[in-house]
Structure 1
Amino acid sequence: MEQITNVITVRKSLAWLQRFHFGPILATALVYDALAELSRAVASTPNSVTPVWPPDGFAVGIVLLCGKSVLPGIFLGSLGANIQAFWGDRNLITLLLSTVAVLGIAAGTTAGTQLGTDLFKQSTRSRYPFSQVSDTIRFLVYAGLLGPIVNATMGVGMLAAAGKIDFFENALSTWLTWWISNVAGIFILTPLILSGYRYLKLNQLSYRNLPKLIFHILNRKIVTPYSFKGVLSRLGIKAIPSKEIEFLFLTSSVFFISLSAFWNGQSIAYILIPLLIWAVFRFGDLGANLTAFLISLMAILGTVRGLGSFASPHLNQSLMGLQSFIVVVVFTSLILTATLAEQNTAKVKLDRAFADLKVANHVLEHQAKTLIQQNRTLERTLEELKFTQAQMVQSEKMSALGNLIAGVAHEINNPIGFLNGSIENAKEYANYLLEHIRLYQQKYPEPSRDIVEHAEDIDLEFLEEDFPKLFESMHNATGRVTGISKSLRAFTRSDTDQKVRAQLTENLDSTILILKYRLKATNHRSEIRVIRNYENLPEIYCFPGQMNQVFMNILANAIDAIEESAMEQSLENLPTRSYQITITTKLETNQIVISIADNAKGMDEATIARVFDHLFTTKGVNQGTGIGLSIAQEIVVTKHGGSINVRSQLNQGTEFLIRLPIDS
């Protein structure tokens, strides 16, 4: 049995080890370490400070491409990149501290890389980050800014623990330098890795076929609304250079301008911006990232040698200027690339739509006899589509409003319940205290002078009389809030597939409560009074949520009409004119009648005839959809088997009459 158990244990261990892909892990570690050594050898200042740390850019890129399976390679690469710098002292204690520090730095690098990439993948569902502006910003924030915080924090902590820096004097500046160098490395190298991999994948190219790869890069077709050849043609230039010459001219210009700006100290770095834009428009994301990489590389190499416009006697000032420039260049390049990619996608969709339209037109040309009928059908379909779309928007608004109100009502209930219980307890405690005071006064009728003066100062007799009134007022106030909460819940009552019994006067009251803020007085009119003439109505079977929408549409239209009427009144009539909405409910034979009337300016006969038409509105642009009353008619007539009518006279007002069967 023991042998069998040992065999099973060995197999489980082997299965666990098989999860690790040692080839990619080893390759990742070697590339990370090589980049680190290259950065120290080529791009370090005389003080051994590396302004940009490309290994972190490689780490983020390879994790985004290969997943978490290469994270051990990141750990090993960071371990190898830092181990020589820490093991210079042969003292045993220092050696142990250095070992812990190196392991901590490697762990921080791995954790920061995983954090940034995980946050980015979760927020974008692992999409390519440079096809949308929003995804690009998420990449820059999560992978480029947040992830390096872990790296820098862990690294500075390990440096302080190993005694490499004075925590209180140099921790902040060291952390900032570390963090910005990681950010710059990710900004520069990761986009280049991702765009290069994407280009190879889209064009089905392999690094083994290098000439073909270069040919494809130089002759890459970029779909943009700004054609380079088209611009030259409009300028009358017929001799158009080939893509190879154009690319060579671009890279040469970038190189020589960067050389002048960052090695010779000439103030012409701003000329690189239009060249970067040129690369974005003509060579896409890969060309833009290559150009940004070349600009950043020239700036780094010049600055670390004390040359160029960023060189300064103060190291921190030089590093901040260089790193800020790199971040701005890469940020501009990536955002512009993503914007152009979004525009290209929209153009492709638009071209596809135009192609479909041409096919449809060709079909219509061969069906000339039925063209008129088809156009009429198309117009009706378009109108129905607009109505359906507007109806969906309206439903979404009502749903969002209902969810908001339901949430507010739910949040109100908890503190109100607590207040109700607390008020009762406080009232009981206060009575105990007052009773105790009265008992004390009975037992000690002649208190000391201090007690008498204090009782006069606080007006003890008034407190004994007013305390119960105060608690009663608080109880009444919480009762009012509870009533408001119940009205809100009544408004947000969910519909089901079947009708339920409801008291529509409650729905009316809850709708008025929602619109109460619009009834208050404004600068150009007095307060709108709501007059309720309710009869005792029985509960009816209906869809309460849909009836709320009917009442909301009619009451909102009444308020809009009053607003418009008030705007047309002269200032002299403003104080004397009163506005009101009268709601009347009554019971007729086997049906209930709900009347909603206002005293606004009314409607003419032409408007009355079209008031329930789809998409008909008398309001201005962006003020009305023209579907509110149409939806109300559909709900009342189709869904409830009732009727809705309107009566109106100019300068007299408007009345809507809703009739609903009691037993439907």
Structure 2
Amino acid sequence: MNGFADELNSYNPYNIGISANRSCLPGENFCLNPNNFLILVVDDNNQNLQLIGDILEEAGYETTFAMSGKRAFDRIQTAQPDLILLDLMMPVMDGLELCTQLKANPVYRSIPIIFLTASTEKDDLVKAFKRGAVDYITKPFRAEEVLTRIENQLLLRMQAQQLQQLAQQEQEKAIQLEATLQELKQTQIKLIQAEKMSSLNQTIAGIAHEINNPMSFISGNLDYVGRYFQSLLSLVELYQETYPNPTPEILQHQEEIDLNFIVEDWENLMQSMKHGANRISQLMLLLRRFSRLDEAEIKSTDINQDIDNILTILQKKLKISEHRPPIQVIKAYGELPRITCYASQLNQALVNLLNNAIEALDEKAQTQRHMFQEPPTIKITTDVVCRQDTSLATSNFILIKIADNGCGIFPEIQPKIFDPFFTTKPVGSGTGLGLAISYQIVVKSHKGNLSCVSAPGEGTQMIVEIPFSDANW
């Protein structure tokens, strides 16, 4: 018990110490000093007040007195006692009524109340205990009994308060540990984010290297192919003019290859090949812009243009699938200023949110196809909003809303969707990091807000708010 005693002693508001002359808990080395305690004595009999007062003052307690329940309540509000000795039977407001009022008040509920009574009727004592009394002392008073009962209750109260302080200390430690755990999780997310971005950059760099060289050959050679074909066509036309009556073999071969169709279609073929080559070049340019391989710092960007670039990258996912028609994208862009932000990170957050919307529509198409009364739709809204805080300071935000008419999110799940590693997908098909990373980017990196409004079967709306300065507007 000594170890526990030492710990309790370190949280001692009452100057508890080791003393042979002080009252102690049985089996413990903790003693109380009566000088540190205020006791309120309430009795309508002046002789009883005098007698109790002498006993307490001789023992070293500080005392205060009241001869009625009302005056006692006033005294308690002025100076809260550590213990109350309360007469059971008093006019106007008896001890039971005062005890009931005190126990109903959270401020005074913990004050131990010992009833003073001349009655030994069990019914009266039961009523007293039911109202919140901790003990009783019968009249006539015996000094040893009075002091022992008071000391026991004060020691018990001290022990309870000290244990409460220890519990509070442990709770604070638990809160600190939880905060540390959250910091570790956030650090882990950052590490995973950095690793994913590093892997993405390497992948894009490799793709760019592998595709750019062949695309340069293709794009450059298409012009030569066009000129060569035109030269060959001119030669064929010259032969037709020079020899208007070809041999039967030439006529037959001309019909087999459908020369007239080739002449008509070659320009379409050339245009489609050029368009395809330009499309590939455009996609590579978008990928390079998106990844910002050499730009880890803050920079100015156009959010509307960034969203368009992302939609271009996600175009394949938006097309018709086995279970659903193509996803309609409705763009309601407002007039936005260019903002200074971590553009690459913010792009990834928007990709994550749009991917989630697409996956929600896919899930609904597979599991609740009959519920698609309207085509699968994603609506993207951007705008500028201004707000005033409690100090009337104005803040500007870029508002981005990404809404889908997918399967929605159940209310009990919504508080968890931004938690790291939380996912409703089957094992192996989701990391549970997409929304957590988006939250990290929007809230932590950009000091913005990311929230969700959703209802099962009705869809989900993700709301992003990115603050920006007046200088951008």
Distance in 1, Cα, partners of 2:422 & 2:249: 79
Q: Secondary structure at the match of 2:457?
A: coil
Corresponding residue of 1:397:
196
Per-residue CA distance 1:337-356 (angstroms, 9 max, x = gap): xxxxxxxxxxxxxxxxxxxx
Aligned pairs (5 A) from 1:272-287: none
Q: Which residue of 1 aligns with 2:298?
A: 499
The equivalent of 1:640 in structure 2 is 446
Residue 470 of structure 1 corresponds to which residue in structure 2?
A: 269
Q: Which residue of 1 aligns with 2:343?
A: 544
- The yes-or-no answer on 1:555 pairing with 2:354 is yes
Deviation, 1:380, is: 2.7
Partner letter of residue 404 of structure 1? T
The DSSP-based 3-state class of the residue aligned with 1:403 is: helix
CA contact (8 A) 1:558 1:581 kept: yes
Residue 415, structure 1, aligned to residue 229, structure 2: no
Q: Give 1:422 deviation, angstroms.
A: 0.8
Q: Which residue of 1 aligns with 2:278?
A: 479
- Residue deviations 1:134-159, cap 9 Å, x none? xxxxxxxxxxxxxxxxxxxxxxxxxx
Counterpart-to-counterpart distance in 2, 1:601 and 1:448: 70
**Which has the larger displacement, 434-443 or 561-570?**
561-570
* Deviating more after overlay: 426-435 vs 399-408: 399-408
Distance 1:423 1:536 in 2: 40
**What amino acid is the match of 1:579?**
P
CA distance in 1, matches of 2:317, 2:338: 29
TM-score using structure 2 length = 0.53
SS of the equivalent of 1:657 reads strand
Contact 1:491 1:545 in 2 (8 A): yes
Q: How does 1:186-585 map to 2 (within 5 A)?
A: 370-494=169-293, 496=295, 498-516=297-315, 518-519=317-318, 524-534=323-333, 537-569=336-368, 573=370, 578-585=375-382
Stretch of structure 1 that moved more, 419-428 or 526-535: 526-535
Counterparts of 1:621 and 1:517, CA distance in 2:
25
- Alignment match, 2:401: 595
Contact 2:320 2:327 survives alignment (8 Å): yes
Cα contact 1:403–1:492 (8 A) shared by 2:
no
SS of equivalent to 1:601: coil
CA distance in 1, matches of 2:451, 2:363: 22
Greater share of residues in strand: 2
- Deviation at residue 477 of structure 1 after TM alignment: 1.7
Superimposed CA distance per residue, residues 271-317 of structure 1 (whole angstroms, 9 cap, x where no aligned partner): xxxxxxxxxxxxxxxxxxxxxxxxxxxxxxxxxxxxxxxxxxxxxxx
SS in 2 for 1:498: coil
What secondary structure, in the 3-state scheme, does the structure 1 residue paired with 2:454 have? strand
**Cα distance in 1, alignment partners of residues 269 and 314 from structure 2:** 31
- Taking the aligned partners of 1:386 and 1:445, their CA distance within structure 2 comes to 83
Which range is displaced more, 598-607 or 420-429?
A: 598-607
Query: What is the CA distance between 1:550 and its match in structure 2?
Result: 0.7
Contact 2:296 2:344 in 1 (8 A): no
Cα distance in 1 for residues equivalent to 2:367 and 2:240:
69
The answer on whether the counterparts of 2:365 and 2:372 sit within 8 Å (CA) in structure 1 is: no
1:599 deviates by: 0.6
Tell me what 2:463 maps to: 657
1:529–1:581 CA contact under 8 A, matched in 2? yes
**CA apart distance, 1:468:** 1.9
Cα-Cα RMSD: 3.5
Letter in structure 2 aligned against 1:640: H
* Equivalent-residue separation in structure 2 for 1:450 and 1:616 (angstroms): 73
**One-letter amino acid of the counterpart of residue 385, structure 1:** L
* CA distance in structure 1 between the partners assigned to 2:319 and 2:410 by the alignment: 28
User: What aligned pairs does 1:616-627 form with structure 2 within 5 A after superposition?
Assistant: 616-619=422-425, 621-622=427-428, 624-627=430-433
Paired amino acid for 2:303: L
Deviates more, 1:469-478 or 1:375-384: 375-384
Q: Could you say if the C-alpha distance between residues 568 and 464 of structure 1 is closer, same or farther in structure 2, counting changes exceeding 3 Å? A: closer
* Residue 423 (structure 1) shift: 0.9
CA contact (8 A) 1:495 1:545 kept: no
Inter-partner Cα distance in structure 1 for 2:257 and 2:432 = 64
Indicate how the Cα distance of structure 1 residues 574 and 634 shifts in structure 2: closer, same or farther if over 3 A, else same: closer
- Identical pairs, percent: 39
Q: Which amino acid aligns with 1:562?
A: L
Partner of 1:530, secondary structure, is: strand
One-letter amino acid matched to 1:481: I
Change (3 A) 1:455 1:519: closer
May I ask how many residue pairs the two structures share in their alignment?
Answer: 296
Q: Does 1:628 align with 2:434?
A: yes
Structure with greater helix share of residues? 1
Whether the 8 Å contact between 2:319 and 2:326 is mirrored in structure 1 is yes
Report the AA paired with residue 241 of structure 2: Q
Task: Report the CA distance between 1:384 and its aligned residue.
Answer: 2.6
Cα contact 2:193–2:437 (8 A) shared by 1: no
CA distance in 1, matches of 2:448, 2:323: 38
**Cα gap change, 1:474 to 1:518, in 2 (>3 Å):** closer
How far 1:574 moved relative to its partner? 7.4
Where does the alignment leave 5 or more consecutive residues of structure 1 unmatched?
1-366
Per-residue deviation, 1:472: 1.5
- C-alpha deviation, 1:551, in angstroms: 1.0
Instruction: Please say if residues 505 and 534 of structure 1, whose CA atoms lie closer than 8 Å, have aligned partners that are also in contact.
Output: yes
For residues 436-476 of structure 1, the C-alpha deviation after alignment (integer angstroms, 9 at most, x for no partner) is 22233334444445444443443333322222222112111
Q: Is the Cα contact below 8 Å between 1:637 and 1:644 reproduced in 2?
A: yes
TM-score by length of 1: 0.39
What SS does the aligned partner of 2:451 have? Answer: strand
